[in-house]
Amino acid sequence: MNFNEIRTQDAAGVFQPNTSYYPKNFNPPSTYWFKVRVIVSDSISKNQGLIEFFDQTINDITAYLPDAGGRYIEVHSGAGENFKNRLYRHKNFEFLIPDLSKGSYVYYVRIKSLNEVNFIMVYRTVERFINYALVEYITYGLFYGMILVFCLYNLLMLLATRLSHYLYYVLYIVSIGVYEMSTDGIAFQFIWPGTPALNEYMYGVSLYCMSIFALIFARTLLRVKRQSPPLYKFINWIIIIRTIYFVVCLFAKREWFIYKFLDFIPLFTAFLTGFVIWWKGFKPARFFVLGNALLFIGAIVKLTTVLGLVKGISAVPGHYGMVLGFAMEMVLLSFSIGDQVRLFRKEKKQAQDDAFYHMQYNLKLQASVNQQLEEQVAVRTMELERQSREIHEQAQEIARMNRLLEKDNAELKTNIEKITDARIKSAELTFEEFCQKYPDQEKCYRFLADLKWSKGFECKKCGYTNYSKGRKPFSRRCNKCAYEESPMHDTIFENNRIPINKAFYIAYLVFTTKGNISSYQIAEKTDMRQGTCWAYATRVKSLLDTDRTASKKNKKASWTDLIMKT
């Protein structure tokens, strides 16, 4: 209906008196007309007074202002228009009052908004408006400056500590800042003044981000996954459900953004999580619980003020209760993060002390083991010296008793290698004794080369028999196709990852004991890990077992007969 039709309806008495604390548009899709009777006790000069509307989320507002002559002046504003079209560059909606003499006047206001709004119409002198607006903007500057400072500080802490809850805390308080700026009009004034369509979305987007990051921050800061797995799953389900609801609002049901009370559920879940974790003994949760409690108190004060449930609440704490609650929550959440950092440091120091204790214990244990090994080595050395003397005496006796073996006895006296070979074939030796025959890698490679090509060299690829020295020790390179073959190729030592002389010794032990030696005994003899000894001994045993039937008919003369089995 137009203004003339409304005047006609007013004459017919269709306007209903307001019965609630604040008049509201209870059905947002509809257009509402409000009639306000104003009694002017003293005359008002032109442009010396104004009326102001507080709710910054009104999309379209048209006021019909009477003048002294009884005519009405139509003025228009709203969050659905570019910010530059406003009378004053201010977050609220203001309209200058024309000349009015003393008397009673009727104002008509037409409102249409996608959100449920409070109809709050205030008269101010221009001087009073300028004074309070400056003070209010300074207050907002302090609040948003506090948010900026907290963001920068926690970003620096994030870079220094790499703790993820600093990032979630920053995202949470940024979401708070964007939500407050969207609802009080600051964002429209300074961030997107030329895009009024964002006013219909940003408060809903920021409110969603605030709820989600509050839950993620609580989940991370309070170590919920470790402290209470059921509560951790419950938080994840709340995040999923809230996200689905947000997507539906964003793409299908934009009007559902008005149900702000639904975000009480995730915020209360975060508060409940903090209380449960605190009850379980996690001390940093106490500041988290206190901060969220103050936020809920601020929200309740704001809600009771808006609904008019409690009379007598001062305008400042009532209107700015939520802002004050957010500010105190930010401070206390910072204390909670600091408390957890101190807890991390304490745990780290305890871990370092435990590690130092175990290191000292291991050093003592190692010293004790080394001493025992030295004693065992000394005893074993004496036994070996005794055995060596006995062998020497036996050799001399055999030389005297059997002249037929003079040549062999002479070779045994002059060639230690042949003596060692005979002992290797006849008895189980220790690793130290075995190393007298194969002391290093070069000796082992030389032995493998001699054994591998004892009947002459033949290239594996082309069958050519002439060769030259290869790049690797004791390898041979075909003079025809340049194929180079290692002495370890096609032997049980191919792809060997342990010292070659120890691999020799393991093969020797398995052969001499007919596979009846454990990996623990091999590990003790070779001073290697039991798992490594087990893997290598298993490989040798498998070769020994695969040819067991043939071995019964023709017993192997030496452990070296296993080498060429691949």
Beta-bridge mates of residue 467: 478
Q: What is the largest CA-CA distance in the chain?
A: 154
Structure tokens at 171: 């995202």
Q: pLDDT tens, position by position, for the chain (566 residues)?
A: 899 899 888 888 889 998 877 788 888 889 999 999 998 888 888 778 899 998 888 889 999 999 877 889 999 999 888 888 888 888 899 998 888 888 888 999 999 988 888 888 999 888 898 898 898 888 888 888 888 888 888 888 788 778 787 888 889 889 988 988 888 888 888 888 888 888 888 888 998 998 899 889 888 877 888 888 898 999 899 999 999 999 998 888 877 877 777 888 888 888 788 888 878 877 777 777 777 777 767 667 666 665 555 555 455 555 566 667 777 777 777 766 666 667 666 767 777 777 777 888 888 888 888 888 888 888 888 888 888 888 888 877 776 777 665 665 556 555 555 555 545 554 566 777 777 777 788 888 888 888 888 888 888 888 888 888 888 888 888 988 988 888 888 888 777 788 888 887 888 888 888 778 888 888 888 888 888 888 888 888 887 777 654 555 445 456 777 777 55
Question: DSSP secondary-structure letter at 94?
Answer: E
User: What element of type H or E holds 469?
Assistant: strand 467-469
Domain 3-128 has CATH 2.30.30.180: no
Length of the chain: 566
CATH (residue range 136-352) = 1.20.1070
Strands 103-112 and 93-96: unpaired
Strands 60-66 and 72-77: antiparallel
Q: Where are the domains of the chain?
A: 3-128, 136-352, 429-562
CA 457 to chain centre: 61
* Three-class HEC string of 166-215: HHHHHHHHHHHHHHHHHHHCHHHHHCCCCCHHHHHCHHHHHHHHHHHHHH
* Three-class HEC string of 470-483: CCCCCCEEECCCCC
Structure tokens at 298: 């601020």
Q: Which residue has the tokens 């003048």?
A: 67
The vertex-48 CA angle with 318 and 50, nearest 5°, equals 40
From residue 415, alpha-carbon distances to 302, 433, 558 in Å are 103, 15, 19
Q: Which residue has the tokens 């004050």?
A: 324
Give the N- to C-terminal CA distance of the chain in Å, as an integer: 100
C-alpha closest to that of 408 among 428, 425, 422, 388: 422
Structure tokens at 202: 């940003």
Q: Which residue has the tokens 């001390």?
A: 283
CB 66 within 8 A of CB 72: yes
Structure tokens at 181: 């700026």
Q: Could you give phi then psi for residue 60, rounded to 5 degrees?
A: -145, 125
From residue 139, alpha-carbon distances to 6, 90, 91, 136, 313 in Å are 40, 15, 14, 5, 20
CB 167 within 8 A of CB 58: no
d(CA 233, CA 388): 74
CB 51 within 8 A of CB 121: yes
User: What element of type H or E holds 107?
Assistant: strand 103-112
Q: Could you give phi then psi for residue 484, rounded to 5 degrees?
A: -105, 130
CB 459 within 8 A of CB 483: yes
C-alpha closest to that of 52 among 68, 67, 36: 36
d(CA 270, CA 324): 19
Structure tokens at 137: 């903007």
Q: Could you give phi then psi for residue 33, rounded to 5 degrees?
A: -115, 135
